[in-house]
Chains A and B, each alone.
Chain A
């Protein structure tokens, strides 16, 4: 079974550009989470989505950041007008739909570098 897939693995953007990060959950998982890890810091929750719904976006910056998990296709984390402070590793995790196994399995991450 393929695990959580993220692409690109590395992304370089100049200030003011847009970054689009993609996450394909484990097949059969319907819960997707995005986390950000700033250099030398811990993992911070950003947003929790199910198909076509944002369940919890309490960790998402109010401006420039958005996320979606459409009925078909991967989840997308979009960062508009990137700034240097957005440079970080962005991890996606997914959970199964079956109650009793709510473990979050992490993808390899996308390392975003803003020049």
Chain B
């Protein structure tokens, strides 16, 4: 079993729709959870971090965390073509420790 798994892609949504990205992790002691966006040929860019159960909203992005289910998700509302990228879920077990990444989900938003 992979440590961090993301829903298989690619995911294609029409402009204006909600894109839903999912991630599960295997290590129950994980403390911190991150969503990064990576455009082709570029470096990962942080979108959201979440540390507590529940929802965290930032603009069009909402991260959801359920530690009991070992599940974290990212919702992108009003998807735009500029949101087309690979989305990486990352999990960290200890403060300042390494990030363990999922394999990424490719999102395409078509006009």
Which A residues have a C-beta under 8 Å from some C-beta of B?
31, 33, 35, 41-45, 48, 55-56, 58-59, 91, 93, 95, 99, 102-109
Contact of A106 among B45, B100, B102 (CB under 8 A): B45
Residues of A within 8 Å of B62, CB to CB, are none
Report B75-106 CB contacts with A as 1/0, cut-off 8 Å: 00000000000001010100111111111100
Are B42 and A108 touching (Cβ within 8 A)? yes
Closest partner residue, chain B, to A45 (CB atom) = B98
Besides the known contacts A33-B98, A41-B103, 4 further A-B residue pairs in the complex with CB atoms under 8 A apart: A42-B102, A48-B98, A95-B96, A106-B44
Closest partner residue, chain A, to B43 (CB atom) = A106
Are A33 and B99 touching (Cβ within 8 A)? yes
Are B44 and A102 touching (Cβ within 8 A)? no
Are B49 and A103 touching (Cβ within 8 A)? yes
B36-75 contacts to A (CB < 8 Å): 36, 42-46, 49
Interface size on B, residues (CB 8 A): 22
Distance from B96 Cβ to chain A, minimum over Cβ atoms (Å): 6
Bound together, the chains give a CA A55 to CA B103 distance in angstroms of: 25
Are A102 and B95 touching (Cβ within 8 A)? yes
Residues of B within 8 Å of A93, CB to CB, are 99
Residues of B within 8 Å of A106, CB to CB, are 36, 43-45
Residues of A within 8 Å of B30, CB to CB, are none
Q: List 6 A-B contacts (CB under 8 A).
A: A91-B43, A99-B95, A104-B34, A104-B99, A105-B46, A106-B36
Question: Given A42-B104, A105-B46, A108-B42, A59 and B96 touching (CB < 8 A)?
Answer: no
Are A109 and B99 touching (Cβ within 8 A)? no
